[in-house]
Structures are given as structure tokens and as C-alpha cells.
Structure 1
Amino acid sequence: MQAAQVKALACQFPAEAGAPLSRWSCRELARKAVERGIAPFLSASTVRRWLDQDAVKPWLYRSWIFITDPDFRPKAARILDLYARTWDGEPLGADEYVISADEKTSIQARCRCHPTLAPGQARAMRVNHTYGRGGALAYLAGYDVHQATVFGHCEPTTGIAPFMTLVAQVMSQEPYASAKRVFWIVDNDSSHRGKAAEDRLVAAFPNAVLVHTPVHASWLNQVEIFFSVVQRKVVAPNDFTDLAQVEDRLRAFEDRYNATAQPFQWKFTTSDLDDLLARLDRHIADHPEESSVALAA
């Protein structure tokens, strides 16, 4: 009986139980259970054991978002088709390329106040917590999806001009300069949003085609995978003397990456997309109150 009551409490929001918390911990659940008279004494370890029986973990959370783009399916499908080397139902030619582009913003130079210590026997790398701020920069990159080649450069900030500099960096060299078409997959950031951005790109490079992801769907943009590699292998744990060192490290890593990289094994297809959308439709049909909340928001 006590275990069932604690599990029921764990499945409530803390605020509903009068606790000024955002999430429950086992210790807080034990404390609240004693306050409510569920048990005269209860340890956090006992609460954890009870919750483990039903895999209840109220201290964890997952975020989600409703699809708000009315053209989500066609926008997403044409990107997935490009990854499969097709466009409007026709296969891409050998002289057609797909570039996935975006900006990784606010890469900081944190100069640690004491030298970072290399790992040793039974000891992890040690990075001093205290640091001085050396500024921040943006890293703009275009990733050739099928050639696994990255083109990037750093800027003080993002914007239309820095993005067009990236485009020129790619489009001014072969094989892109003389290609039949070069498709640029981008998200809906203000640097390359909407019809104005499409017109600006074509005016500068007539063989360039701007392709936008659906709203809130940057996960469809493969360059984000490359940025995650950069975060793990170059930026973290962030120990740089200044921004020049950040830029040098990024440039050197780019060369290293291009020397051995293979295309990402992208497995999400239009069939997977249709299955996903069908599951979402069924979920909304079974939980209409969630869609009502989304529309009200």
C-alpha cells in the first residue's frame, strides 16, 4: 500500500502536491510521503527501489514540440529525396551536388586560469573550472552530403553577409562553379530565410538552389551531425588562449576531417517520414487535449 501511494505521488507534478519543485527526487518524495503520513519513516533508497519496479523516474524529462509547419511533409520529403540523390522524381546528375549548411554560433575562447592536465593512470584529464573569457565567434560550414567534404570559416557573428561569404567560398571553386545545380539545404534562420534569401542566392549564383527545412526541423540538416562532431572533438572541454587559437583549431580539424571522412549513413527515408507522421496523427487523435493546448499557445 505504501509503495502504491508513493508511486502515485511520483506521477504527480510536485506543484500539485504543494512542493516548490520542478521535478521529484527520491529524497524529496520520501520527505513528502512522511509529511502526508504515508509512512512514519522512509528512506530515499527505499523510494528508488519501489519506483524501479515500474520504471518510474520522475527526475527525468523529455522535451517535444508539435509540428506547426503546414508544409512539413513536402518540405521534409524533398530534403530526404536529395539525400537519396533525386529531385522532383528525377535522379540527380553527376554534375549536381547537395550542400548542407548552417552556423554554429557563440563558440567561446575560455582561457583556463591553470594549465589543463593530461590524463594519466587512473586519472581523467583535468580542466580548471576558473577561466577568463576571450570572446566568441561563429563557425559557418557547408557540408557536401555525398562527397563528405566540409567548407567552413569563422566570423565575428552570423548574418546575411557572413552566410553569403560561405556560399561564395563554395560556389567559386570546382566542381560547384560549373555544376548544373548545387542544392543548398538550410534552416529558417534569419540569415537565409524565405523567398528573399532564395532570390539573393540565385542572383549571385544562378546554378544554386536554396532548399529550406520545415520550421523546427534542423534535425533534417546533415551539417548538424558534423557540428556535433566539432563540439565533441574540438570545442569541449574548451581551453583556448584566444579566438585565434579557436579559429586555427577549427581550420586544422576541417583539413583532418576532409582527409578521411565518409558520408554519413543517413537511413531516415520518406517511408520513415510517413510512418512518423501517421504515428503523430494517431497520438493527436487519442489525445486531443494536447493539440488544443498547442493551438492555444
Structure 2
Amino acid sequence: GIDGLADAPRSGRPPIYTPADRATVTAWACQLPAEQQVPLSRWSTPELAAHLRAGGIAASVSTVRRWLAADALKPWQHQSWIFMRDPDFEAKAAVVLDLYARTYQHSPLGADEYVISADEKPSIQARDRCHRTQAGGPRRPVRVNHDYRRRGALAYLAAYDVHHGQVFGRCEPSTGITAFTALVDQVMTAEPYASAKRVFFIVDNGSSHRGQVAIDR
């Protein structure tokens, strides 16, 4: 009958890559490049494909990218981590986390109590381009001259009201207790902080705001 006109089952085009090839890609992506004697800190898809080709697996960059995506692998991404050496870290962190949640010593903060996170960034290069930046246009990006003049370095200090989104910032010649005190004064002379019941400052262990000297100032 008419069913006899149907195509017979066919195997189709034979696969180009074997399951072992794909497993090798996954294994390499789950290793640091140094473990394969590759002088890279982390894999990118093109670098991984290039070194696979050198090892006899001639997979294209798009093929390697597709295999990595199927396994949710992104070897070019990284996250930092650190060992906590302070035995009191958990207790100290709990105070900070409570303040972020608008709580202090198990009591909610009032409407006239504020939490400020403050820090400083030293040695920011002040640079001046040798030629003016050119505006972009149709099919033309903004053009920035490569050459620049150094205009010295500045420190930037910032304080952030974590619950109201207010940011205070200032530039100083350098960091230090004097510069940080100026930032605190900038915050505490402005309303609503000047008349607040309490203002909590969250800072790190930098020498500019650590110890009794900083507290006394």
C-alpha cells in the first residue's frame, strides 16, 4: 500500500564528536588552566577551544560554548572568599547585620535613628586627556584620546545612608584621621543627622577610623 512509499529508517549523519570529547571539555572547564599546564588564570571559551584543538578535539568556539551552557559551566567567572581569622567575627558581624535590618540590641531603630556606611578610596589618579573627547554620531562611537597627563592623586571618601539612599562624598589630598573626621563632620552637620537621636557609623578596620583615637575625635 501507500505505506510502502515511506522512507526506511536512516541513521543520519554520523556524530562529529564522541561522548568522550564532550566529557573532556567538561573536565577541562572544571579544572584550573594551570592543572593543564596552561598559563592562564581562568578559562575563556576561545582559549578553552584553542587548547582543546591542540589536544586533538577540533571543536569550534560556538560548539564549546553550547556544551558549557548545557552544563551551566562558566569557567571565566570567579568569586572571592576569605578565611575569617577573628574568633569574634560572628558576634561583630551580627551587630552590623542587625543595623542593616534597622535593629540594635534587639530593638528596632526609631524614625530619628540612622545608619551610615562609610569608607575611603586612596590614590585615585586625576588625569587630563591631551585632546578633547569627541561626541558620537551616526555609526560613530564617542572617541576618547588615548594620551593623558597626570594631575596627581586624590583620596575619595564617601558615606552612604543605607536606608534612605543619601550619599555624601568628598575629595581630600590623602586619607587619614583628619580627612575621615571631615567626612563625619560633613554628615553630622547636615539634617536630619544633626538633630537625630542616634547615628550609627559602620566602618572597616582601617587605621583612619579604628581605635580610641578615632572614637575620641
Cα gap change, 1:29/1:94 in structure 2, threshold over 3 Å: closer, same or farther?
closer
Cα gap change, 1:98/1:28 in structure 2, threshold over 3 Å: closer, same or farther?
closer
Q: CA RMSD in A?
A: 2.9
Matched letter for residue 150 of structure 2: R
Matched residue, 1:10:
29
- 2: CA distance, partners of 1:75 / 1:112: 45
Match of 2:142, SS state, is coil
- 2: CA distance, partners of 1:156 / 1:91: 39
Q: What are structure 2's unaligned runs of at least 5 residues? A: 1-19
Matched residue, 1:285:
none
Q: What's the CA shift string for 1:17-72, capped at 9, x where partnerless?
A: 23233233444434443444x44x44334333333332333333332223343333
How do 1:221-260 and structure 2 match up within 5 A? none
Matched residue, 1:70:
87
Displacement after TM superposition at 1:158 (Å): 0.4
Matched residue, 1:54:
71
Match of 1:101, SS state, is strand
Identity of aligned residues (%): 64
Matched residue, 1:109:
126
Matched letter for residue 129 of structure 2: R
Displacement after TM superposition at 1:177 (Å): 4.5
Cα gap change, 1:80/1:125 in structure 2, threshold over 3 Å: closer, same or farther?
same
How do 1:1-297 and structure 2 match up within 5 A? 1-36=20-55, 38-39=56-57, 41-172=58-189, 175-177=192-194, 179-198=196-215, 200-201=216-217
Higher relative contact order (CA 8 A, sep 6+): 1
* Greater share of residues in helix: 1
Q: Which moved more, 1:134-143 or 1:166-175?
A: 166-175
Matched letter for residue 120 of structure 1: G
- 2: CA distance, partners of 1:168 / 1:26: 50
Match of 1:136, SS state, is strand
Larger Rg computed on CA atoms: 2
Matched letter for residue 138 of structure 1: A
Matched letter for residue 77 of structure 2: L
Question: What's the TM-score, normalizing by structure 2?
Answer: 0.73
Count of matched residue positions in the alignment of Structure 1 and Structure 2: 198
Question: What's the TM-score, normalizing by structure 1?
Answer: 0.56
Displacement after TM superposition at 1:191 (Å): 0.6
- 1: CA distance, partners of 2:103 / 2:28: 53
Match of 1:119, SS state, is coil
Matched residue, 2:6:
none
Q: What are structure 1's unaligned runs of at least 5 residues? A: 202-297
Displacement after TM superposition at 1:156 (Å): 0.4
Q: Which moved more, 1:77-86 or 1:159-168?
A: 77-86
